Amino acid sequence: MAAPIPRVRMRGISKRYGTIQTLNDVALDLAPGEVLGLVGDNGAGKSTLSKVLSGAVVPEDGTIEIDGREVRFASPADARAAHVEMVYQDLSLCDTVDVAGNLFLGREPRRRILGVSFLDKRRMRADAVAMLQRLGISVPDITVHVENLSGGQRQSIAIGRAASFDPKVLIMDEPTAALAVAEVEAVLELIRTVSARGVSVILITHRLQDLFLVCDRIQVMYEGRAIAERQIADTNVEEVVDLIVGRKFSARSARNTQAEGVAIS
Ligand SMILES: Nc1ncnc2c1ncn2[C@@H]1O[C@H](COP(=O)(O)OP(=O)(O)OP(=O)(O)O)[C@@H](O)[C@H]1O
Ligand SMILES: [Mg+2]
């Protein structure tokens, strides 16, 4: 039987900033509906790799395939057209616009009255309520400006907005970094909801305990390289920490210059 076509297949991705080789021949695979945890120390290249996949950074080298077809993203708009969405580390919501307005920012429903185009607020709000309900996101009032929402609610709105573009791939960079415990749980539940619908998710996080709650697999980055991957059922926090700080990697490399089990095949 032929191997199933991966949702995402990245190969040989390299990106340099000045003298820093931020990404060095990186590979990444993602199956439909899979949740992949992308982990690594500060500066390991996680955000840059995800920006390559979301079209915000153009690599010097490498290929990307979505559902078996090669794509070249010159901008986030190109990635969006291929159904790849990213929720950024620093949230990109508009503070002085209400929840519904943020969900539909840049694509607000309009209606024409006597040939003049007006914002269709009533439809926008009804659609916003339906959109949030589908994802199980609870916000007390969708007419409130997002600056008045909690961190967790803001994060949910940002994810809800990304999810509403009908993504095949949803990338989340540190979605729970600034959240309280209950808010983290809500975001993790949202990840479960979208992945259960077949959306492939890349979750970047330093909260290692979260990986074990939602991820199917993890990939570890170290100084611009993808050095290891594990099915979540086959690993534990101690091993992940070792991989992140490079202990296992250097120990194995010293023992075996072939670096068996380290390279991602
Ligand atoms: N636009 C840029 N210009 C110059 N250097 C950059 C740029 N973006 C990233 N880098 C460098 O590339 C390296 C990897 O950065 P990246 O943001 O991908 O790391 P990260 O794994 O996401 O780290 P963190 O966990 O701290 O978010 C860092 O050394 C960073 O300084
Ligand atoms: Mg980052």
In a domain, 60, yes or no: yes
Best CA proximity match to 106, nearest among 165, 166, 175? 165
47 lines ligand 1 (CB under 6 A): yes
In a domain, 260, yes or no: no
**Residue of 48, 87, 171 to test ligand 1 pocket, by largest number of atoms within 8 Å of CB:** 48
Q: Answer whether 0.85 is exceeded by the pTM.
A: yes
**Residue of 14, 41, 47, 51 to test ligand 1 pocket, by largest number of atoms within 8 Å of CB:** 47
Measured in Å, residue 224 CA sits from the centre of ligand 1 at 9
Query: Looking at ligand 1, which residue's alpha carbon is closest to its atom 6?
Result: 17
Best CA proximity match to 215, nearest among 240, 233, 241? 233
Alpha-carbon distance of 210 to 185, in angstroms, equals 9
Alpha helices in the chain (DSSP H): 46-53, 76-81, 99-103, 121-134, 151-163, 181-196, 208-214, 237-245, 247-255
Query: Looking at ligand 1, which residue's alpha carbon is closest to its atom 28?
Result: 43
Identify the CATH number of the domain in which residue 205 sits: 3.40.50.300
In a domain, 233, yes or no: yes
Alpha-carbon distance of 35 to 201, in angstroms, equals 5
Give, in order, the Cα–Cα distances in Å from 129 to each of 5, 99, 121, 154: 35, 10, 12, 15
In a domain, 206, yes or no: yes
219 lines ligand 1 (CB under 6 A): no
Domain count, the chain: 1
In a domain, 48, yes or no: yes
Give the range of the structural domain holding residue 24, as residue numbers without chain letter. 8-94+167-255
Helix or strand or coil: residue 131? Answer: helix
**Residue of 13, 14, 15, 22 to test ligand 1 pocket, by largest number of atoms within 8 Å of CB:** 22
User: Measured at the alpha carbon of residue 106, what is the angle toward residues 103 and 107, in degrees to the nearest 5?
Assistant: 75
Q: Indicate the residue type of 113.
A: I
In a domain, 244, yes or no: yes
- Using an 8 Å Cβ cutoff, are 216 and 36 in contact? yes
Alpha-carbon distance of 190 to 194, in angstroms, equals 6
Query: Which ligand gives the minimal distance to the CA of 51?
Result: 1
Give the per-residue pLDDT at 1: 59
- Spell out the per-residue pLDDT of the chain, length 265, in tens: 567 899 999 999 999 999 999 999 999 999 999 999 999 999 999 999 999 999 999 999 999 999 999 999 999 999 999 999 998 766 678 888 899 998 888 788 888 888 888 888 899 999 999 888 888 888 888 899 988 888 888 888 888 888 888 899 999 999 888 788 888 888 899 899 999 999 999 999 999 999 999 999 999 999 999 999 999 999 999 999 999 998 765 545 444 444 444 444 3
DSSP of 4-51, one letter per residue?
A: PPPSEEEEEEEEEETTEEEEEEEEEEE-TT-EEEEEESTTSSHHHHHH
- Using an 8 Å Cβ cutoff, are 52 and 24 in contact? no
Please report the atom of ligand 1 found closest to the CA of residue 41: 25
